[in-house]
Amino acid sequence: MEGSAQTETALVADLNDLLKLDHDAVQAYTLAIKGLESEEYKARLVEFRGDHQRHIDELTQLVRSRGGTPMEMSHVSSGVFKLAVQAVGTGARLTGAAGDRAVLVAFKANERQVRDKYRRLAREVHEADVTSVLARAADDEARHYAWVLETLEDLGFDQNSAAGKVERAFEVAHQGMADVMESAERKGMQAAERAKRALQDPKTRKGLGAVLLTAGAAFVAAQLFGRDRR
Sequence ranges of the domains in the chain: 2-200
pLDDT greater than 90 at residue 87: no
> How far is residue 103's CA from residue 91's CA, in Å, rounded to a whole number?
8
On whether the 2-200 domain is CATH 3.30.420.40, my answer is no
Q: Round the average pLDDT of the chain to a whole number and report it.
A: 81
**Residue 202 predicted with pLDDT over 70:** no
Q: What is the dihedral of CA 18, 23, 26, 29, to 10 degrees?
A: -80
Q: Which of 92-101, 104-113, 189-198, 214-223 has the lowest mean pLDDT?
A: 214-223
CA-closest candidate to residue 60, choices 27, 23, 32, 97 = 23
- Interval 113-161: pLDDT, tens: 999 999 999 999 999 999 999 999 999 999 999 999 999 999 988 777 7
Q: What is the pLDDT of residue 213?
A: 59
CA–CA distance, 182 with 79 (Å, rounded to integer): 9
Using a 10 angstrom Cβ sphere, with 0-12 exposed, 13-18 middle and 19 or more buried, the burial of residue 5 is middle
DSSP assignment of 90-120: HT-S--HHHHHHHHHHHHHHHHHHHHHHHHH
- For residue 54, pLDDT beyond 70: yes
Higher pLDDT, 54 or 180: 54
CB atoms within 10 A of CB 150: 10
Give me the long-range contacts of 8-13 (CB less than 8 A, separation at least 24).
8/66, 8/67, 9/190, 9/193, 9/194, 9/197, 10/190, 11/66, 11/126, 11/130, 12/63, 12/66, 12/67, 12/68, 12/189, 12/190, 12/193, 13/186, 13/187, 13/189, 13/190, 13/193
Answer yes or no: is pLDDT of 30 > 60: yes
Taking the CA of residue 182 as centre, how many other CA atoms within 13 Å lie in the half-sphere pointing to its CB?
27
